[in-house]
Structure 1
Amino acid sequence: MKKLFLIVFALLSVHISSQACDKGCTMGGSYLGILPQFHKNFVGLRHTTRAYTITATHGHHTEITKENFATTELWGRFVPVRNVQIFAFAPYVLNEQNSGHGTLRSKGFGDVTLMANYSLLNTGDSLGHTLKHTLQVGGGVKLATGSYRKQQHGEALAANLQPGTGSTDYLVNGIYTIRYKQLGLSNDLTYRFNTENSNNGYQFGDRISASSNVFYWQNVKGISLLPSAGLYYEHAKGDRYEGATNAQKGGESYFTSLGLNVYVKNIALGGTLQLPVSSTEAHHATQGNTRSMVNLTYMF
């Protein structure tokens, strides 16, 4: 139990720095992670953090800007019938930018996301199959429910600091899981089509993300452990403003992922870290991208 406590504590508290998509990549929203027990509903909270350090040189003067993004989400899954899963995400956002000109802060409810998946193949709960497969496909919509007109000192905040985007965006995704006894492999792919905010002409670039994680299910004295490790990739196109592409936004990155979920009866506690492997940024002065996610869910 001491070792288990140390592992959980590390997942809840450690943040790893990386370099990746400039202002906008996220572990929240459409990121599902490994979701066992497909037949159960759940509701829970999860918290994600990201951070960036932006260095700009003007002649002999160097200006450093630090941006921190934190999101706390109420999220859940509902299984109305076998092979159908419906997800909902309701985020609360706290964004902060610190520079030589002062500190800008923005907080409020963000954009609600709704998704639905259908299992084309599902032998995950079958006793007649030693090698179990699950293939899910689906999609969803991100609604323009969050505020995107917040101001400070009489001026509108930048689009990436707003709690919402002011646009309705669309997602498609696929998840394939294969498991033999306690050992399994989970793969997922998500593409997000972003549309333009008709009020201010800003459009975040489309995003694609993919991951592959090996996991191992182990029962220890009434507690179920599911550690995982794998790779994560994401790519963001450049943002657009009034039809023109912003060359300083976008990029792609590769990560190794480490995760642990602990199940005690109907309660699940989990954490995920993404450690950088490599990245190609549109704006090379942006560094940092610290990421972590923790979650607490109740299954029923």
Structure 2
Amino acid sequence: MIRFLGLILLCIGPNLFGMETDSITKPGRFHFQSMALGKCDACGCSASGGSMGFGSFLTSRFVGVRYIYQQYSSSDGLYANSPWYKESYNSIQVWGRIPVFKNAQISVLAPYHFNSRDTETGSHSIQGIGDITVLGLYKVVQTKTDTTFFAHTVQLGAGVKAPTGTYDALNNGSINPGFQLGTGSWDYLFLIEHTVKRKKFGLGSMVNYVVKTVNDKGYRFGNQFNYASTLFWLHEQNDFSFSPQLGLAGEVSASNYQYGQEVEKTKGNILFGRIGFETALKKFSLGMNALLPLSQDLTGGRVDAKFRLGVNLNYSL
């Protein structure tokens, strides 16, 4: 029921909370940018951090560094008293949104992962470069504050994730097949972003879909649908900006396949509550976000997501 309400909020939110923004993006000016989700397996992190996203709400053109921490626990579920083991996913990412011409941007995300998990025989860890993602975005709607009561921005995007991260087939025999540095496959992303604003209040919403292909080991992670809706408030004074944020974010993953056969208990869904803020001084901005699960069903209940934390430092272009 909670996940269903979250989907309703995503669909009707822009109409209920529609709001106002600067009419045209100006270099060096801070304004809200709808956030696109990453493409991470819902029961792990072989990619970018899922609901942490690809963009900043405070500036539309930037380069920066982001750190994401995720914690899970997993169990084989064979017995009522089967032990649960801790899994930690860390990612340091170089990311940015770079303008290429009017109404068009390129979004790039290059992660480095260092992940660990406890097992019956001790701790196991992996680290290395993850899968690099490149997205192209085009602004199809931009209303002006002097022509409408509510200001809307709509962007469409598509992109590709390259298999630059190491994929280890042995990890797929574990409870959580998402314990990888990369999927080992070329994956394709399609997204829609919508930001609507009125004075200091606004709502950013998005949906995206990730098509995953078979890697050279005959394994294919399930396609994933991501959605999010975040309510924000913006205070600006001279070169200083501050914005608290509150919202929902979710991920729905289909089953994985190996050699064309469905792998049981690999699909999943999760809905997060999200709270955070962004603040900026001149061209530098700092953001922090926490995601706490409200409902989840991952790998048939064998994986339990605990929380996600993200911190980013950006420089506005």
Question: Gapped runs of 5+ residues in structure 1?
Answer: 1-19, 151-155
Alignment of 1:277-292 (within 5 A): 277-292=294-309
For 1:137-286, what aligned pairs fall within 5 Å after superposition?
137-149=156-168, 156-158=170-172, 160-198=178-216, 200-220=217-237, 222-286=239-303
Counterpart-to-counterpart distance in 1, 2:111 and 2:146:
38
- Distance in 1 between residues matched to 2:139 and 2:314, nearest whole Å: 22
**Match of residue 155, structure 2, among 136, 143, 158:** 136
Shifted more, 223-232 versus 277-286: the winner is 277-286
Q: Within 1, Cα distance between the matches of 2:265 and 2:95?
A: 32
Identity among equivalent positions (%) equals 28
Once the two structures are superposed, what CA deviation does each residue of 1:139-178 show, in whole Å capped at 9, x if it has no partner? 100001112249xxxxx44453331211000000000111
Residues 210, 33 of structure 1: alpha-carbon distance in 2 compared, 3 angstrom cutoff = farther
Residue 81 of structure 1 corresponds to 101
Would the alpha carbon gap of residues 194 and 29 (structure 1) be closer, same or farther in structure 2, given more than 3 Å must change?
Answer: farther
Question: In the aligned structure 2, how far is the partner of 1:29 from the partner of 1:184?
Answer: 19
Q: 1:101 to 1:84 in 2, by over 3 A?
A: same
Q: Does 1:32 align with 2:54?
A: yes
Summarize the Cα distance change of 1:142–1:61 in structure 2 as closer, same or farther, 3 Å threshold.
same
Residues in 1 aligned to 2:115 and 2:56: alpha-carbon distance in whole angstroms: 27
Equivalent residue letter for 1:197? N
Could you tell me which residue of structure 1 aligns to residue 31 of structure 2?
none
CA distance in 1, matches of 2:52, 2:80: 42
User: Could you tell me whether the CA contact under 8 Å between 1:174 and 1:189 is conserved in 2?
Assistant: yes
- CA distance in structure 2 between the aligned counterparts of 1:59 and 1:212, rounded to whole angstroms: 38
Is the CA contact (8 Å cut-off) linking 1:111 and 1:143 kept in structure 2? Answer: yes
- Taking the aligned partners of 1:59 and 1:176, their CA distance within structure 2 comes to 46
Give a deviation string over 1:219-267, Cα, whole Å, max 9, x none: 2574211111111121011111111222221211212211200011000
- Whether the aligned pair in 1 keeps the contact of 2:293 and 2:307 (CA below 8 Å) is no
Q: Which amino acid aligns with 1:168?
A: W
Looking at structure 2, the residues matched to 133 and 177 of structure 1 have their Cα atoms a distance apart, in angstroms, of 6
Change over 3 Å in CA distance of 1:140–1:57 after alignment to 2: closer
- Decide which structure has greater strand share: 1
Output the CA distance in 2 between the equivalents of 1:23 and 1:60: 23
CA contact (8 A) 2:45 2:89 kept: no
SS of corresponding position for 1:62: coil
Conservation of the 8 A alpha-carbon contact between 1:138 and 1:172: yes
Q: SS of the residue aligned with 1:293?
A: strand
Contact conserved, 1:28 with 1:48, CA < 8 A, in 2? no
Corresponding residue for residue 23 of structure 2: none
Alignment CA distance shift 1:102-1:82 (3 Å): same
Pair 229,30 (structure 1): closer, same or farther in 2 beyond 3 Å: closer
Give secondary structure in 2 for the equivalent of 1:283.
helix
Residue identity in the other structure for 1:135: V
Cα distance in 1 for residues equivalent to 2:132 and 2:109 = 6
What is the SS of the residue equivalent to 2:178? helix
